[in-house]
């Protein structure tokens, strides 16, 4: 028996029913939710007076097109009474984040904001981190992009040699890993350093991360002098290397602030040509550590002040709030926002929309960056940058994702296996950074082992500081290849690249690919015309082409050598002379007996044998 479609209510009857509901609402603060007939939440809003605010939707006729379209779909309204406007603001934005209503302005959930974490283990681990904060660990950040965190980890490894490996790897080591051999880890896993000395290195690293680099340098220089005076020259030399490395790190740090506030966020909201953009810049420990641009969804009818208020309320939910928020334009309901942020931070938070001096320069810089981002977004919508941005938004990747590396394996029935690595960076394919890897020492045809070998060979070096750490790694294959990649990343100590498997669809046709995320192995299939999918296909196809070209060349070379090796009397030297004289196997095949005799070491009997073997 077929399911009957829901009975459509007369519009006049629906309006009367909703008006009757509104008349019964109280003059109290609260949150309202507008729902469609199928129960989908269309919009979530807050109100000082539920009766006045919800009633205004049905009493005015000058609504924007977005609101008129929403009201035409509203079937019922639900409300929740709260104690204050600030409490309503918190509940409103919790619901917006949880439900993602199609008519609310939405900012991406900032899982993309990275931290640098020092774990609370007995032998703490230095790591790149995103996600919910755990009180057992110490976090530094958040930072607007992952570049600062990744660079800091690599630099701090050189100085303090803290472990970066996963617990599963750390707990099962019987000998030091590659990072210890290249002096990037002091190997507490095998007690190559005493617990006391390792804890001191952890303490020093945290001093530096807390912005106390100058105090740390003074302490290290004092220890170096004491070790030298006591004739402990090896210890003094090690401390000297730390001092020099720290000095170099300080040179690379971002410009310091002269203001008294060590932590501040600078936010500028701009609306231009119908596009809303917010630029968020961060100052941490007195240093300007970078910025990022945010383009909210469903923002067509919002002005800059409304967009800024929505951002402040959504962004700081369950997140550390700096002591000062410098923003433009002045947000609506600033008093409520100050109360909300101060309550969350358990201290006074200042929202300043009219700063002076250096802070005014910061704010102007953020505003200009937002304007430029809008112009760039418009001009690059059909370019590689537009494809990358579409992929970032579709897969909820970190906003700073820029460098993508993709791997593929090519062989013929296990013969002449070659792996390829192609690179997308700086907005385009980087052919000069492509690499091929000849795979050996595995069971022929074992794609998993081949993938393990190429990833290990590439990322052991990168983990040791030789090369750039990618933001995203694409693995041409399904869950098996992806799981192998996860193991390798854990073993070499690289946790920050995002791993995604690119699996062919059921019919292996382009456009049906599934993108499989590491850890969860959740599969996503983007629409066939999605710009982000087109970028993945381009990179994957380039990786496949590069792998198969290398495989064919290796196979041809192997078969040339093999066909000559099978002829009795042809050793490596004679084979090399033949190939050099005639320019390859085809040239040897086309040579006459008289031509072959001209090669040193080839007599007539051997020439006739070669001629017969290759022509037979």
Same domain, yes or no, for 336 and 471? Answer: no
Give pLDDT, residue 213.
59
- Alpha helices for 24-76 (secondary structure H): 50-59, 65-71
Q: Has residue 386 been placed in a domain?
A: no
Q: Has residue 1 been placed in a domain?
A: no
Q: What is the 3-state secondary structure of 123-150?
A: CCEEEEECCCCCCCCEEECCCCCHHHHH
Query: What's the CATH code of the domain at 40?
Result: 3.40.1440.10
pLDDT higher than 70, residue 506: no
Q: Which of 392, 377, 434 is nearest to 532 (CA)?
A: 392
Tens digit of pLDDT for each residue in 384-409? 888 898 899 899 898 889 999 999 99
Same domain, yes or no, for 344 and 469? Answer: no
- Residue recorded with tokens 């995203």: 472
Same domain, yes or no, for 62 and 187? Answer: no
Give pLDDT, residue 12.
84
Which whole number is the average pLDDT over 400-424?
A: 90
Instruction: Name which residue leads in pLDDT, 481 or 589.
Output: 481
Query: Is 460:437 a contact under the CB 8 Å cutoff?
Result: no
Give pLDDT, residue 247.
63
Joined tokens for residue 374: 């809008």
Q: For residue 61, give its domain range.
A: 12-99
Q: Which of 200, 228, 252 is the last residue of a domain?
A: 252
Same domain, yes or no, for 442 and 550? Answer: yes
Q: What is the DSSP letter of 198?
A: H
Give pLDDT, residue 158.
78
Which whole number is the average pLDDT over 282-296?
A: 80
Give pLDDT, residue 427.
82
Give pLDDT, residue 200.
86
Give pLDDT, residue 455.
95
Q: Has residue 108 been placed in a domain?
A: no
Give pLDDT, residue 277.
94
Total tally of structural domains belonging to the chain: 5
Tens digit of pLDDT for each residue in 339-391? 888 988 888 999 999 998 888 888 999 999 999 998 887 775 557 888 898 89
Query: What's the CATH code of the domain at 607?
Result: 1.10.150.20
Same domain, yes or no, for 135 and 219? Answer: yes
**Lowest pLDDT segment from 106-110, 182-186, 367-371, 512-516:** 106-110
DSSP string, 221-273: HHHHHHHHHTT-HHHHHHHHHHHHHHHHHHHHSPPBP-SS-S-EEEEEEEEET
Query: What's the CATH code of the domain at 341?
Result: 3.30.420
Give the 3-state secondary structure of residue 567: coil
Radius of gyration of the chain from its Cα atoms, rounded to whole angstroms: 32
Q: Has residue 257 been placed in a domain?
A: no
Give pLDDT, residue 484.
92
Tens digit of pLDDT for each residue in 443-486? 888 899 999 999 999 999 888 878 889 999 999 988 999 999 99
Q: Which of 318, 350, 379 is the last residue of a domain?
A: 379
Q: Which of 323, 270, 274 is nearest to 299 (CA)?
A: 274
Which whole number is the average pLDDT over 227-248?
A: 73
Q: Has residue 4 been placed in a domain?
A: no
Instruction: Name which residue leads in pLDDT, 519 or 456.
Output: 456
pLDDT higher than 70, residue 4: no
pLDDT higher than 60, residue 203: yes
Residues near 194 by Cβ (< 8 Å), separated by ≥ 6? Answer: none
pLDDT higher than 50, residue 256: no
Same domain, yes or no, for 141 and 33? Answer: no
Look at the alpha carbons of 355, 358, 361, 363 in this order and tell me if their dihedral is positive or negative: negative
pLDDT higher than 70, residue 250: no
pLDDT tier at 559, thresholds 50, 70, 90: low
Tens digit of pLDDT for each residue in 53-78? 999 998 888 788 888 889 999 999 99
Look at the alpha carbons of 36, 39, 42, 47 in this order and tell me if their dihedral is positive or negative: positive
Same domain, yes or no, for 607 and 505? Answer: no
> Does the reported pTM lie above 0.95?
no
CA–CA gap between residue 163 and residue 170 (Å, rounded): 9
Which whole number is the average pLDDT over 167-191?
A: 86
Query: What's the CATH code of the domain at 504?
Result: 3.30.420.340
Q: Has residue 327 been placed in a domain?
A: yes
- Alpha helices for 161-194 (secondary structure H): 167-170, 178-181
Q: Which of 67, 99, 131 is the last residue of a domain?
A: 99
Q: Label the pairing between strands 41-47 and 30-35.
A: antiparallel
Angle, helices 357-379 vs 384-395, to 10°: value is 100
Same domain, yes or no, for 173 and 213? Answer: yes
For the beta carbon of residue 260, count every other beta carbon within 10 angstroms.
Answer: 8
Same domain, yes or no, for 180 and 301? Answer: no
Same domain, yes or no, for 431 and 549? Answer: yes
pLDDT tier at 292, thresholds 50, 70, 90: confident
Cis ω for the linkage preceding 142 (within 30 of 0): yes
Residues near 216 by Cβ (< 8 Å), separated by ≥ 6? Answer: 204, 207, 208, 246
Average pLDDT, the chain: 84
- What is the phi/psi pair of residue 133, to 5°? -80, 140
∠ CA 134-179-397, rounded to 5°: 45
Give pLDDT, residue 258.
39
Q: Has residue 477 been placed in a domain?
A: yes
For the beta carbon of residue 369, count every other beta carbon within 10 angstroms.
Answer: 20
Same domain, yes or no, for 186 and 80? Answer: no
Q: Has residue 423 been placed in a domain?
A: yes
Which whole number is the average pLDDT over 428-457?
A: 90
Tens digit of pLDDT for each residue in 13-23? 888 899 999 99
Give pLDDT, residue 344.
82
Same domain, yes or no, for 421 and 548? Answer: yes
Give pLDDT, residue 253.
44
């Amino acid at each position: 028996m077929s399911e009957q479609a829901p009975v459509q209510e007369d519009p006049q009857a629906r309006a009367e029913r909703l008006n009757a509901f509104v008349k019964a609402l109280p003059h109290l603060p609260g949150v309202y939710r507008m729902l469609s007939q199928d129960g989908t939440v269309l919009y979530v809003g807050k109100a000082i007076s539920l009766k006045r605010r919800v009633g205004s939707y049905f009493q005015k006729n000058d609504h924007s097109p977005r609101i008129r379209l929403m009201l035409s779909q509203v079937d019922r309204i639900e409300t929740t009474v709260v104690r204050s406007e600030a409490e309503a603001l918190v509940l409103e934005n919790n619901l917006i984040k949880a439900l993602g209503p199609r008519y609310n302005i939405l900012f991406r959930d900032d899982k993309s904001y990275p931290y640098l974490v020092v774990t609370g283990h007995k032998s703490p681990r230095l790591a790149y981190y995103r996600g919910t904060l755990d009180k057992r660990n110490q976090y530094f950040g958040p930072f607007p992009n992952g570049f600062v965190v990744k660079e800091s980890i690599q630099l701090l490894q050189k100085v303090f040699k803290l472990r970066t490996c996963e617990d599963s790897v750390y707990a099962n080591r019987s000998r030091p890993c590659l990072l210890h051999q290249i002096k990037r880890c002091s190997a507490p896993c095998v007690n190559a350093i005493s617990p006391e000395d390792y804890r001191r290195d952890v303490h020093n690293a945290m001093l530096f991360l807390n912005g106390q680099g100058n105090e740390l340098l003074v302490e290290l220089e004092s220890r170096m002098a004491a070790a030298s005076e006591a004739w402990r020259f090896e210890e003094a030399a090690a401390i000297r290397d730390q001092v020099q490395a720290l000095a170099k790190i300080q040179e690379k740090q971002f410009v310091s602030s002269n203001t008294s506030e060590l932590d501040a966020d600078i936010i500028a909201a701009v609306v231009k040509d119908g596009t809303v953009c917010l630029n968020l810049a961060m100052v941490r420990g007195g240093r300007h550590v970078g910025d990022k641009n945010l383009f909210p969804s469903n923002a067509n009818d919002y002005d800059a002040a409304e967009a800024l208020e929505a951002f402040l309320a959504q962004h700081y939910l369950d997140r550390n709030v700096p002591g000062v928020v410098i923003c433009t334009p002045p947000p609506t309901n600033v008093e409520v926002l100050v109360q909300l942020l101060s309550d969350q931070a358990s201290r006074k938070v200042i929202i300043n929309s009219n700063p002076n001096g250096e802070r005014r320069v910061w704010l102007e810089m953020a505003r200009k960056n937002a304007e430029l981002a809008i112009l760039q977004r418009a001009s690059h919508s059909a370019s590689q940058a537009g494809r990358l941005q579409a992929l970032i938004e579709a897969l909820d990747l970190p906003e700073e994702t820029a460098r993508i590396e993709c791997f593929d394996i090519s062989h013929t029935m296990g013969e002449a296996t070659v792996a390829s690595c192609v690179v997308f960076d700086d907005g385009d394919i980087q052919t000069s950074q492509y690499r091929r890897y000849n795979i050996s020492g595995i069971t022929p045809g074992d794609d998993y082992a081949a993938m393990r070998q190429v990833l290990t060979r590439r990322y052991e070096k990168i983990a040791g500081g030789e090369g750039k750490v990618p933001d995203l790694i694409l693995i041409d294959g399904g869950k098996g290849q992806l799981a192998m990649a996860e193991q390798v990343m854990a073993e070499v100590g690289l946790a920050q690249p995002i791993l995604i498997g690119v699996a062919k669809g059921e019919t292996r046709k382009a456009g049906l690919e599934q993108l499989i995320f590491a850890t969860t192995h959740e599969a996503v299939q983007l629409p066939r015309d999605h710009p982000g999918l087109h970028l993945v296909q381009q990179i994957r196809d380039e990786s496949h082409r590069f792998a198969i070209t290398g495989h064919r060349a290796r196979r041809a070379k192997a078969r040339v050598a093999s066909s000559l090796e099978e002829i009795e009397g042809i050793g490596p030297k004679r084979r090399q002379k033949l190939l050099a004289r005639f320019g390859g196997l085809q040239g040897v095949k086309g040579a006459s007996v008289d031509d072959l005799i001209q090669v040193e070491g080839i007599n007539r009997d051997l020439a006739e044998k070669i001629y017969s073997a290759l022509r037979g």
